[in-house]
A and B are shown apart, each in its own frame.
Chain A
Amino acid sequence: MTSPAAIPQSLSRRAHALRGHVLRMAEIVGQGYVGQGLGISDLLAVLYFGELRYDPKQPDWPDRDRFVLSIGHYAIGLYAALAEAGVIPVGELDTYGSDGSRLEMSAPETTPGVEMTGGSLGHGLTQSVGMALGLRLDGKPSRVFNLLSDGECQEGSTWEAAMAGAHHRLGNLFAFIDCNNQQADGPPSAIMGIEPIHKKWEAFGWHTQRVNGNDVEAIAAAIAAAKGIADRPHAIVLDTLMGKGVPLFEQREKNHFIRVAPEEWTLAKRQLEEAGR
């Protein structure tokens, strides 16, 4: 058994490893969703190495917890977690986004460990509600963890599903909302304001918390607190920093799709190494 104090440290190490995988993939395509992947690594580390029940050798084990990625373009983060967890080979990450690869830029459900084809945003929570209803009906202990984005909170379907989750008292449903303050055309405040987003989830009947999404201890504590409430679905709003862990990307002008010059990768990797020491 690991002592409780050791857990956050090992989670931080995992998050660091995920960031390394993210950079490895991003460098292959030369640009892309590296900001999102780095920003969400802490949540994925907590989930895949502290919370989710799954069998890496049997990704379709019927009693597994479901991790549902609405935001298909965050695939780079999910693949990092799946590789680190042993669901897909680490070496395969080198095919990310390449012709004929199953590690498509937007995650398809044909890839092991991907529960649902996201990417047409606003689908994830609707299917998560269905999965949570189905698992409960079957008397299974499995839970459903859906990752949404701040931009996705603008889709009407998200709120239709939020209403359904609360109405059906889905205590086995957890929604994480990645508020990285960016969407395709700019920051949500300039595109379509969503704040105060935690109050909206609360008003829809969800047990809601808002934490620093780049703090593994805070995320783990929020999940622990959520598990104490059985008769309501759980929303955990995560304030994250795009590019977290690599100052070069943290400081650059925020963009949905970062362009990176070839020579910048060496610096990015060095910065991540230094942050990991």
Chain B
Amino acid sequence: MSAPTPAGTPPKGVTGNILSSDTGGAASVAAAPFGHALVRAAEKNPRIVGLTADLGKYTDIHVFAEKFPKQFFQMGMAEQSLVGCAAGLARTGFVPFATTYCVFATRRAYDFIAIGAALGGANIKIVAGLPGLTTGYGGTHQGIEDLALMCAVPNLTVIDPCDATETAQATEAIAAHVGPVYMRLLRGQVPVSLDPSTYRFEIGKARLLADGPDVAIISTGLMTGRALDAVRELAAEGVRASLLHVSTLKPLDREAISSLIGRVSRVVTAENHVVTGGLASAVADVSVQAGRPIQLRRVGIPDCFCESGSIPYLVKRYRMGAPDIAAAARELLK
């Protein structure tokens, strides 16, 4: 069954408008969860300010800008200046939220994040769009290695939320947290995978979303939505899987990971990122450090720059879908 095509989205098989959202056929979606949550946070804290580098509409911070025009600064297409300026605002006691895409924040402005902000613990929040394969625009726009780069920076908190519920909760959490944060952004129409009435995001805490003895899936970011589908697919075949959602990559909830892999040693990691330097590497590190050997299958982007194309095409091409997570689990159970 194919979902009806919403007006304005291109036919299948072409690179989409960078403003369009690929919701992967989600049953429930929420619009601009980051923008609206930032408005709520700013209603409580008047020291919150927003900045962007010519990507306001494209990162949902326009919602904040419309509500608090005096607290919003358009910096033009200049990412180093964006991050440096945010650090300066933090040094004058403000809580700046700076937005651009993952690639431009991390590749172009790395030194400004590391030295300008993280070294001294400047209280800036970098919120970056188009993580991994959420755009068809090829190597220049797909943020495939940003988590590796950001996790390598001392003092920085690194978060990859999985859906609209968590994006909203994490936005309010990082607004209240004192210290530099890098958060990946899901924008536009964002799927709701977690129930907002029961789910509670906490910085540095992983959440066990399913508990089963046969195989452990450990996921981050939007891959958790697909992992939930994979858990259901496996359950239908009689395979009982655990699912641990690790939305904070740094500081890592080593205890939760260690405890899970102590119980279930067949492990599949799933991340919207290259399979080196991100979640898979972190899980392998916990396994070695804790002396808990595991068998590991990594679902994620291979060590390459990816093609351009429609999102469904890319998800298939790089084996990033729910069926790929389930297949990796089955392989371990053979």
Query: Which residues does A use to contact B, with CB under 8 Å?
Result: 28-32, 72, 97-101, 104-106, 108, 117-122, 151-152, 154-156, 183-185, 188, 190-192, 257, 259
CA distance A119 to B104 in the complex (A): 11
Query: Could you say which of A97, A154, A185 has the most chain B C-beta atoms within 10 Å of its C-beta?
Result: A185
Quick one: closest A residue to B78, CB to CB?
A154
Query: Which residues does B use to contact A, with CB under 8 Å?
Result: 8, 10-11, 13-15, 17-19, 52, 54-58, 74-78, 80-81, 103-104, 107-108, 136-141, 307-310, 313
Cross-interface CB contact of B103 among A32, A120, A122, cutoff 8 Å: A120
Cross-interface CB contact of B78 among A28, A106, A185, A192, cutoff 8 Å: A192
Cross-interface CB contact of B141 among A31, A101, A119, A156, cutoff 8 Å: A119
CA distance A108 to B141 in the complex (A): 12
Quick one: closest A residue to B62, CB to CB?
A185
CA distance A117 to B307 in the complex (A): 13
Q: Which 7 pairs across A and B sit closest by C-beta, in order of nearness?
A: A192-B76, A119-B140, A104-B308, A154-B76, A99-B309, A99-B313, A154-B77
CA distance A108 to B57 in the complex (A): 26
Closest beta carbon of chain A to B314's beta carbon, Å: 8
Cross-interface CB contact of A185 among B11, B17, B74, B310, cutoff 8 Å: B74
Contacts of A105 in B (CB 8 A): 15, 136-137, 308
Contacts of B107 in A (CB 8 A): 120
Quick one: closest B residue to A192, CB to CB?
B76
Closest beta carbon of chain B to A204's beta carbon, Å: 17
Quick one: closest B residue to A188, CB to CB?
B76
Contacts of B81 in A (CB 8 A): 156
Q: Does the CB pair A120–B309 fall under 8 Å?
A: no
Contacts of B80 in A (CB 8 A): 156
9 inter-chain pairs at a CB distance below 8 angstroms, sorted by A residue, are A97-B15, A99-B309, A118-B140, A120-B107, A151-B54, A151-B76, A156-B80, A191-B77, A257-B18
Closest beta carbon of chain A to B100's beta carbon, Å: 10
Q: Does the CB pair A31–B313 fall under 8 Å?
A: no
Cross-interface CB contact of A98 among B13, B57, B139, B140, cutoff 8 Å: B13
Contacts of A100 in B (CB 8 A): 307, 309, 313
Q: Does the CB pair A257–B15 fall under 8 Å?
A: no
Quick one: closest B residue to A149, CB to CB?
B77
Q: Does the CB pair B52–A185 fall under 8 Å?
A: yes
Closest beta carbon of chain A to B65's beta carbon, Å: 9
Cross-interface CB contact of B138 among A108, A121, A188, cutoff 8 Å: A108
Closest beta carbon of chain A to B121's beta carbon, Å: 25
Query: Could you say which of A121, A151, A184, A188 has the most chain B C-beta atoms within 10 Å of its C-beta?
Result: A184
CA distance A188 to B77 in the complex (A): 10
Cross-interface CB contact of B14 among A97, A117, A122, A156, cutoff 8 Å: A97
CA distance A120 to B141 in the complex (A): 7
CA distance A106 to B52 in the complex (A): 22
Contacts of A72 in B (CB 8 A): 140
Quick one: closest B residue to A257, CB to CB?
B17
Closest beta carbon of chain A to B30's beta carbon, Å: 23
Q: Does the CB pair A184–B15 fall under 8 Å?
A: no
Q: Does the CB pair B54–A184 fall under 8 Å?
A: yes
Contacts of A152 in B (CB 8 A): 77
Closest beta carbon of chain B to A59's beta carbon, Å: 20
Quick one: closest A residue to B314, CB to CB?
A99
Q: Does the CB pair A104–B15 fall under 8 Å?
A: yes
Quick one: closest A residue to B76, CB to CB?
A192
Q: Does the CB pair B10–A117 fall under 8 Å?
A: no
CA distance A71 to B310 in the complex (A): 21
Closest beta carbon of chain B to A183's beta carbon, Å: 5
Contacts of B309 in A (CB 8 A): 98-100
CA distance A192 to B56 in the complex (A): 13
Q: Does the CB pair B54–A191 fall under 8 Å?
A: yes
Given contacts A97-B15, A185-B57, 12 further A-B contacts (CB under 8 A): A29-B14, A98-B13, A106-B137, A106-B308, A117-B139, A119-B138, A156-B81, A183-B54, A192-B54, A192-B74, A192-B78, A257-B17
Quick one: closest A residue to B53, CB to CB?
A154
Closest beta carbon of chain A to B205's beta carbon, Å: 35
Cross-interface CB contact of A259 among B8, B13, B52, B136, cutoff 8 Å: B8
Quick one: closest A residue to B313, CB to CB?
A99
CA distance A253 to B58 in the complex (A): 18
Quick one: closest B residue to A118, CB to CB?
B140
